[in-house]
Chains A and B, each alone.
Chain A
Amino acid sequence: AQSVTQPDIHITVSEGASLELRCNYSYGATPYLFWYVQSPGQGLQLLLKYFSGDTLVQGIKGFEAEFKRSQSSFNLRKPSVHWSDAAEYFCAVGNYGQNFVFGPGTRLSVLP
């Protein structure tokens, strides 16, 4: 069965520091992978997605993620975090005609 884990429930970083949020998945075929962000009281906004091709994908707001098939991972990174990045981040996996499965989310706090 498909599953997604996000090992870090809560991460705190200082503004300007680099960020990496981890995502590991279990999937029987080549997955489609997504990162969404949810700001407090808001809906989910797509940050980036991977379907095929280049394993390093660029997204909005300066985020990037790297697909590593050998590690079943799709970690999200940002070189310099801004206070406005404080939010809940969700990794999701799916495939053509299949349901999305979401990870439990990682809450990011940013210190001034």
Chain B
Amino acid sequence: DTAVSQTPKYLVTQMGNDKSIKCEQNLGHDTMYWYKQDSKKFLKIMFSYNNKELIINETVPNRFSPKSPDKAHLNLHINSLELGDSAVYFCASSQAGTSDQTQYFGPGTRLTVL
């Protein structure tokens, strides 16, 4: 059973398009995250959601909008895609309010903007 899953695994699209990436976790966690990994493998947090509320928004362009229909899902919608958005996007989850702050990661979505 996959703990954190993302769809699609690969996404190739043209500049200017709008696209979404979906994330689901079956760990019962209440906090979910989106990370961006650039071509140099550097990981940077973009957003985190706790109990369906955005609690961190790390100065990403407002073309990126996370949406959480429930605490098991955190989707990432991107408007007006740009070349610089090409990267691997990782979803992760953890349980707040406990001593175990481990984040569990999905397999990633490789986005290529042409």
Contacts and interface: CB of A to CB of B under 8 A. Distances in A.
Main secondary structure of the interface of A (DSSP, over half): strand
B101 A32 contact: yes
Interface residues of B, number: 23
The contact size tier of chain A is: 20 to 34
B101 A43 contact: no
Nearest to B42: A104
A32 B56 CA distance: 19
Interface in A19-64: 32, 34, 36, 38, 42-46, 49, 51
A105 B45 contact: no
B14 interface: no
A2 B99 CA distance: 19
B43 interface: yes
Contacts of B103: 100
Contacts of B92: 44
Contacts of A46: 102, 104
Interface in B82-114: 90, 92, 96, 99-108
A60 B107 CA distance: 19
B25 to A, nearest CB: 12
Nearest to A97: B96
Given A46-B104, A97-B96, A102 B48 contact: no
A95 B40 CA distance: 26
A95 B43 CA distance: 18
A70 interface: no
Given A43-B90, A99-B48, A105 B41 contact: yes
Contacts of B41: 38, 88, 104-105, 107
Interface of B: 4, 40-45, 48, 56, 58, 90, 92, 96, 99-108
16 contacts: A32-B101, A42-B107, A44-B90, A46-B102, A51-B101, A94-B101, A95-B101, A96-B101, A99-B56, A100-B45, A100-B103, A102-B42, A102-B43, A104-B42, A105-B42, A107-B41
Interface of A: 32, 34, 36, 38, 42-46, 49, 51, 88, 90, 94-97, 99-100, 102, 104-105, 107
